Structure 1
């Protein structure tokens, strides 16, 4: 159990740093109401998760801690549902209903479509 916890812990730290870097660079070049940094982080995290799932498919020679490190840790730390929810709340508070709707629809649909299309048997 210790190795699994440490794997998720370290992977989560790496994912969080990746998310911070994406946000840092996006905000540096894009300063608008639409929460692009969170959208990009979440979509990239979904894409990475799909990549890792496909990579590990039919492979049994990788230890459980390694998949936990990548999927739960890195991808979980890189994606950010709490920030997504908070930014949508702020858009709601500011009456930016068009941007709010676009953000929710784009975030959910693109991520879901990635999974549906790329993990299709």
Structure 2
């Protein structure tokens, strides 16, 4: 029960962060969802950084894993919104933006995850 509550709290904070990032950045480009891309990018950096710290530096922090790795990062990132935005782009005939969004999201997210792990090594070694 404790773990469920921790995930719930972390997920709520992550969802609020995603909401505000999207609300702030999505209006910048009407056709390209910069807010969702940024939220997923930042979530991957946090996931890589926190995973590195929790898995290699803090061995007694079992309660931190569900809060950050599952809850916060799960709530902050959003695959369903990403998928819906792609579907909207394709339905509106914006194939080039849809394909670019798919590729850029995947590449940027993987690089951010790797970068977060690297950042953890640099900052905490």
Could you say which residue in structure 2 is the equivalent of 1:25?
24
Preserved CA contact (<8 Å) 2:46 2:116: no
Runs (4+) of structure 1 exceeding 6 A deviation are none
Preserved CA contact (<8 Å) 2:47 2:113: no
1:15-73 deviation per Cα after TM superposition (whole angstroms, max 9, x unaligned) = 00000110111135x142011111001111001100101111322121x2221101100
Could you say which residue in structure 1 is the equivalent of 2:85?
87
Over the aligned positions, Cα root-mean-square deviation in angstroms equals 1.7
5+ unaligned residues in a row in structure 2: which ranges?
none
Q: Which of 30-39 and 88-97 deviates more?
A: 30-39
5+ unaligned residues in a row in structure 1: which ranges?
none
The TM-score, its normalising length taken from structure 1, stands at: 0.89
Structure 1 residues 94 and 80: CA distance shift in structure 2, 3 A: same
Number of equivalent positions: 118
What is the CA distance between 1:110 and its match in structure 2?
1.2
In structure 1, C-alpha distance between the alignment counterparts of 2:98 and 2:38, rounded to whole Å: 16
